[in-house]
Amino acid sequence: MGISSEAGVKRMSDKFGPVSLSELTFYVNRAAFGAGCYYGVADDITAVAVSLAKKNDDPTILLTKAFDNIANKTVDTKLSKVTSDQETIFTAISENQTSAISAGIAVSDFLKMQSESERFHILVNNVDLPALLILCLKALSETIAIEKAEVSTQSGLQKIECSDVSACSDIQSGDVELTLTNQSLASSKKIPAINDHHNIAVSQEGWNGIRKHFNNSLVLATEESRLSGAGAGVIDTD
C-alpha cells in the first residue's frame, strides 16, 4: 500500500486505506490548495471531508471531481449575491459554472450572518456538483435544517436527499434551489459521528485523485533546495 511514492500507487482494488483522520486532513487540505483553492477555503473543504469521513462516507470521489473543475478552471470560485424579499441568489461572477465548494461555503456564511429561526429561500445558479453543495452546507452549518433542495438540470427537476453520498454524487449540474431554516444550536439535531478517529476506508480511485491534486501543491526538489532549504548536512555521525 504505497502512498509515499506516486509511482508506487497501484490500483490493486478500489479500496484504499484505512487512512487516519490526520492523513485525510493533510492530503485533502493540500489537494484543495493544489487544485487552486485559497488556503482558507481549503480549510473549510477539509472540515467537510472530515465530517463525511466521521460518518463513514468516502469524500474523495466527489472532492476529486470538484478539484478537477477548479483546476481546469471550468468553474468560478468568486461569487456575487443578490438579495430580494423573496430569495437570495448566488451566481458566479463569470460565465463559468459555480463551484459547489465556494457556493457551499458562501451559503453557510450567509446563514451564519442571519438571525435564528428564520426561513430562507436561496438560489445558486449553475452549480457544478449540486450534491457537494448540500454536503458542504450540512458539514459547515450545524444549525441548518434543509426543508427543500432541488436542482433544475437539463433533464428536469431533481430532488436532492443526500442521505447517501455515493447515491447522489452523480446528480448533474444545474441551478440549486434551497429552502432552509436557521435553528438554534440547542434545537438542531447533530448527527453523531460513527467513526471517531480512524479506519477511514476510501476508494483507490478517489485517493489517487486526491493525490494528483496534492502533488500539485509540492515544490520541485532540487539540489539547491535540498541544501539551502532544509539545511541539514547529509552525513552526521555524531
| Chain positions contacting another protein, by CB under 8 A | 1-2, 4-5, 18-23, 30, 33, 38-41, 43-44, 77-81, 93, 102, 106, 109-110, 112-113, 196-199, 215, 217-222, 224-226, 228-238
Which of residues 5 and 154 has its CB atom nearest to another protein in the complex?
A: 5
Cα–Cα distance between 238 and 236 in angstroms, integer?
Answer: 6
Min dist CB 85 to another protein, Å, is 18
Which of residues 171 and 206 has its CB atom nearest to another protein in the complex?
A: 206
Find all residues with CB under 8 Å of 210, minimum gap 6, and list them: 27, 28, 31, 60, 63, 64, 67, 202
Cα–Cα distance between 182 and 88 in angstroms, integer?
Answer: 15
Min dist CB 151 to another protein, Å, is 21
Cα–Cα distance between 120 and 106 in angstroms, integer?
Answer: 14
Min dist CB 159 to another protein, Å, is 27
- Whether 126 and 176 have beta carbons less than 8 Å apart is answered as no
Min dist CB 49 to another protein, Å, is 14
Which of 59, 140, 154 has the alpha carbon at shortest distance from 107? 140
Half-sphere exposure of 100 (CA within 13 A, CB side): 29
Min dist CB 219 to another protein, Å, is 3
Which of residues 156 and 233 has its CB atom nearest to another protein in the complex?
A: 233
Cα 69–chain centre separation: 12
Which of residues 102 and 162 has its CB atom nearest to another protein in the complex?
A: 102
Which of residues 25 and 158 has its CB atom nearest to another protein in the complex?
A: 25
